[in-house]
Chains A and B, each alone.
Chain A
């Protein structure tokens, strides 16, 4: 990611946000009282969850007979729901890892929520294998434990066992990835919190101080986890597909299943991300961070993956005919026009036809339509799994065993319960953690903020590059580009101020605002001529210090230029210990340049300064 940004790119952070604004906006949902909408949401979610728990208890108490599964159709809603939830859990890691590798900056707006969603979806999914065995108290048979009960071992040849490993690995890595990203943001929240709340967030942030060493280790960890997570995105649904494809059941045994399941999983995951993000941005006023541009990008992913899934459906259908294998041919004939034709039709319509509306740009950017289609796709992907599982089983080799299956209220209740669980977890998460990654959004601000790029940019030159190019040089970890000091060995001044700011101590927060302003020093917007000057343009002065100086009778650049360094030091010392680390040595000199309107020279000077100090 270079500092050069094509003028054709749409800004990803709207509203001329400064670093401080970003902190304020993104921490706000965790700091204010919950809104009525949130309270209503959590009540509904908890009610659904409660009903689900009741149904699970009912199943365990009365036995699996409370479900309508039968000898022919041994997997019904349970495994359909399991695969559906696992699929939804794919978008998060895709966004965190693969889009990170592809340096897609728009991921920063949605990655946090998507990763959280991944974890919650996997929790919902993991529920089903546990209860579908009927006797939940022997569920430890799933695990390869030291055998004390005779020759009974988990079958290592079975994809069902591989699935256990795949999903638990995926869950662990996704959790680590998500939590690692949260650490600096928890520190940001901590630094703004008081009392007991501060203690909790301090604990959650592992005592993060934002030192260069912390950032360096954090970056290294993110890279390692991204490297591990990338193959995992493929492996999990691949192995879920093995659950079916290793069999010899027509309709299940087909070699395209692994990549087709993965594409379908990404498809459904993105649909769920869209559903959630459209609600979230509205509920928490995050329209400047999750922009229409983000939604458009996700809709493109939906269109692409939906069409890939379409290719796979047609490939299966065609090869079933081509195979010349009558059972295979019948399986697909049965899917399309058999007793479950409606689910096949629903699958085709929702997953292949409906995303095609996104060929049109204005429809990709239409929020109501996007929301509607995302729901349709969520339903369609559920149908897909139902088609694969129940429809196929219903017509087996032996016509005398043919059967039909529809769920009982218990099975439906458990599914509803997982939806309640999912939204409960998500709503709680959105209250306690910044739902958009603060540090990562900050890292793209200068290349994707609308004051720097796009039609509303206040910079005069295109591409917004040259002089602060260095602050964006970076490795794979797009999310960390402000903190990368390895670039070419030159001391990277603005980058170090930025990282200390993202480290989010209140003091450093100020430094950053200045840095932002100083970047814009050659722009017309902030060139004031009358009245009090904006002292924050002096590198080293932030909003708080600016107030202190104003209180001390220094309101203009001229006044600051005429103030001695000793007096400035006195002002700072009197204000308290937290300001003592500031060195006002360069401020009068900077101010005199500002007073005379020598912005270019000021810029040069500031480029040589480190946080307002002479190096």
Chain B
């Protein structure tokens, strides 16, 4: 059976994308800052979020292949399709890299060349010390190189998997081929995701660092990926596809959602607790900003991404009922989007303030400021789109989500939904938890 991407679905998704484009466009004109910080930070926020989801789908699929898991095979085309979204996501990240290099925005504090110029009054020793890594060459180069490697491996895996679906063969040569690519992909995903998370997200708070950050962010992507998989599968089942995907499969996905929500919390707690306990100013500033100026998001992050999935999914039956599982999946997807919001916006806003928020564009070269983050005290005012997501942010999220679904469903509709020649297909069809 092949998924038929109906005109009606396409239309709704296109409407969503138009809404997103309008909201993103409006955010260009929002605020009085000539740097269009709200626009660029929304663009970065959503691009990085969905790119990461695609990467994690590929990552989890390769883990499952390498671990000889059988249960997921019935819907493996969905993960293959999600992972292909990297073809959209990586160019989006590249676009950000290029605009950073061209100084079309000021998302990254370190992108200001005066910061590393010892003769300039803006000179910042810390950022100068990091400039070997925090520069646009690394940013663009890393995005391109790792992006291409990830796309190469994941599309090889998908094309072999499609060939397997068509011709099969008793010797499982195709499956052995997939295994090789899957295993080799894992270290590239592991090392590469860490490096790119440092570039894409952690470097927004350019002075700050945490060794945990890459894994923490990866876990957030991972939970979002599981949530979005559940939502896609529920949608397809609702449309009458995937009869073979049973309550048992949803139960297992629910367990992953539950377990990795706890894992995410574990990483969140470990990072927070160690920084709080040691109380080193350079480190605590990150959380101090967020607790004091973004308390709603700070606590909502924990409630939505830990308390809710933990208590709702703890029971057996809530993982097996479509309503409760779908509710939690939708909730944590939004929750982790908020988590990324909270990772990105405070630093971006701070950078924008440091750059002067001058009305005439430019990069704030002429605004001498104390660049020591610890006393970079600008007055704390509520700013919609930064302090909490405004309607434009929600609209942009919907737009990106629709783009994501549009792409995934287009890819998914090209081939039969079930790969009947996968060696594990019988296990998956008769899966019992």
Residues of A within 8 A of B (CB): 1-9, 101-102, 104, 231, 234, 238, 242, 245-248, 253-259, 300, 304, 307-308, 311-312, 314-316, 319, 322-325, 359, 462-463, 465, 469, 472-476, 487
Contact = CB atoms under 8 A, between A and B. Distances in A.
A4 B427 contact: yes
Contacts of A463: 426
B274 A2 contact: no
A242 B273 CA distance: 9
B172 interface: yes
Nearest to B422: A6
A156 B104 CA distance: 52
A457 to B, nearest CB: 15
B427 A6 contact: yes
Contacts of A469: 430
The 9 closest A-B pairs by CB, nearest first: A256-B211, A255-B212, A8-B423, A258-B270, A2-B430, A324-B129, A4-B426, A4-B430, A324-B126
A5 B427 contact: yes
Interface stretch (B46-54, B187-195, B356-364): B187-195
Contacts of A462: 426
Contacts of A315: 194, 211, 214
B211 A254 contact: yes
Given A6-B426, A319-B211, A475 B433 contact: yes
A101 B256 CA distance: 11
Nearest to B215: A259
A234 to B, nearest CB: 6
A322 B433 contact: no
A487 B430 CA distance: 14
Interface residues of B, number: 50
A186 to B, nearest CB: 30
Contact of B424 (A6, A101, A473): A6
Given A8-B423, A254-B274, 17 more contacts: A2-B431, A2-B432, A6-B70, A8-B172, A8-B175, A102-B67, A238-B266, A253-B274, A253-B280, A255-B210, A255-B270, A258-B267, A259-B212, A259-B270, A307-B186, A311-B191, A465-B430
8 contacts: A246-B273, A255-B210, A256-B212, A258-B270, A314-B191, A324-B130, A465-B430, A473-B432
B129 A248 contact: no
Contacts of B207: 324
B185 to A, nearest CB: 13
Contacts of B126: 324
B233 to A, nearest CB: 19
B426 A465 contact: yes
B66 interface: yes
Contacts of B209: 319, 322-323
Contacts of B69: 102
A316 B214 CA distance: 12
B3 interface: no
B290 to A, nearest CB: 15
A196 to B, nearest CB: 44
A489 B194 CA distance: 49
B133 interface: yes
A469 B427 CA distance: 11
Contact of A242 (B186, B274, B431): B274
B1 interface: no
Contact of A2 (B198, B215, B255, B427): B427
Contacts of A487: 432
Interface string B199-229: 0000000010111111100000000000000
Contacts of A234: 266
A322 B429 contact: no
